[in-house]
A and B are shown apart, each in its own frame.
Chain A
Amino acid sequence: MIRFQDVNKWFGDYRALVDINANVDRGEVVVVCGPSGSGKSTLIRTVNRLEEIRSGAILFEGRNVHAKMSGAELNKLRSRIGFVFQSFNLFPHLSALDNIILSPHRVNGLGRAAARDRAMALLDRVGLANRAHSFPAQLSGGQQQRVAIARALAMEPPAMLFDEPTSALDPEMVGEVLAVIRGLAQDGMTMMCVTHEMSFARDVADRVWFMDAGRILETGTPDAFFGAPQHPRAQRFLSDLRSR
């Protein structure tokens, strides 16, 4: 469903992504992990072209996201890929409900009433139906991130990308957000998730990609990766995590 083909990206002289070749199948949950600065976030941001690439191709549903295309085509493509940010990025001037209504209404042309019904159902799904009229500043971090997930889901995307969705949260709020993501995984959503939550990765991931210095060094099932990592860098990374 998402296929990286010989993807290379540079920031000036710095090679941020190096010969990435990988695949996310439909319904699969891939957790991308690795030390900070390894290119995980950059990789996930190239999938909906928030970052451009130097060479290669990224196919989403068979279509190269980085091909030359009109703005309208790119917007259409982006609306089919849900993206959840580390810093939530809710629109602070809109209520939780209006954050969710805005895009189905304005991008997909869904009627306001229908968009509202869908938004309420989604808020209910993330357990925040009672906070529909709250503004982001009135919500906790965990609640904001759950609204952000509902906002992405409102476009009914066939795939979701999570860029460190719990890294900006206080520890006691991590669980409520992971529970929502876990629920999505159980419903068969195709997902890529950059995270440092290793127990979450172990539970939810179908496969783990380990990245360092812009390369995917190792891929495997969570059992294989956490049980017996092959690459020395992965072994060091995991032992560092455990000794913390």
Chain B
Amino acid sequence: MLQGAISIISENWLLLLVGQYPNGPLGGIAATLMLSVLGIVLAFPLSVLIALARISRWRLLRAPATALVYLVRGVPLLMIIFWVYFLFPLLLGANVPGFATMVCTLVIYEGAFLSEVVRAGIQSLPAGQMDAARALGHSYPRAMRYVILPQALYNMLPAILSQFISTIKETTLGYVINVPELTFAASQINNRLLTKPFEVFLILALTYYVVCFGLTAAATWLERRIATRRAGPGAAPLAIMETAG
């Protein structure tokens, strides 16, 4: 079986890596990573805006942002994919490629989820930080920009990274609208070979695992680094030793 898996990889590595590119659309791991990166990078500024609207004192901002977050959290991702897939072409009056559909979906979905992370990051800071900034004469937007958000976003880095890992796994659903990402490529191979589903999907699972595990390890490392930095130099190792002993 191992031999089978190796031969599948050696015969199909290019398809797994980039899909049919350059003779067709970019696919495989490259498409999966591009979808995830684009999804999270575009969702991030949106999530900050949603979070700011969620904690705004104006109902006019708060209500729609809250409704959006509750709505997106309340329906499965697959539903949103279908909505975007069928609705956007109608609204735009033009054909929307699967890749773009998937990016739009991920931005909406991750934007809503990340906004809760951002909101928690902002609200977990001591109230004294905002008080101090306002007492010095900073306006609310300036206090947010120079005092609150830099701290909140820094503290949230591990949570953002873990959201990114979820996003990678969520791109697999692009399969249902024929986005040629990694799962789609594996399924193509499986359809061609017909007799080796176990090997093919083992390769697929391992590939996802390696990418996601690598990022999880990075998140853990980052979390530890932030904890050390926040405690001040020297303080953290000492504290760890004390609790360990």
Contacts and interface: CB of A to CB of B under 8 A. Distances in A.
The size class of the interface chain A forms with chain B is 20 to 34
B132 A107 contact: no
A106 B142 contact: yes
B129 to A, nearest CB: 6
B91 interface: no
A106 B146 contact: yes
Nearest to B136: A103
A107 B142 contact: yes
Contacts of A48: 135
A91 B151 contact: yes
B140 interface: yes
Contacts of A114: none
B178 to A, nearest CB: 45
Query: Do most interface residues of chain B lie in helix, strand or loop, or is the interface mixed?
Result: helix
A85 B131 contact: yes
Contacts of B142: 106-107
A89 B128 contact: yes
Contacts of A138: 232-233
A92 interface: yes
A92 B136 contact: no
Given A78-B135, A91-B147, 14 more contacts: A75-B138, A78-B137, A83-B132, A85-B132, A87-B128, A89-B128, A89-B131, A93-B150, A93-B151, A102-B147, A103-B138, A107-B138, A152-B135, A155-B136
18 contacts: A48-B135, A75-B134, A78-B134, A78-B135, A78-B137, A79-B136, A81-B135, A83-B136, A85-B128, A87-B128, A91-B133, A93-B151, A102-B146, A106-B138, A108-B137, A137-B230, A138-B233, A152-B135
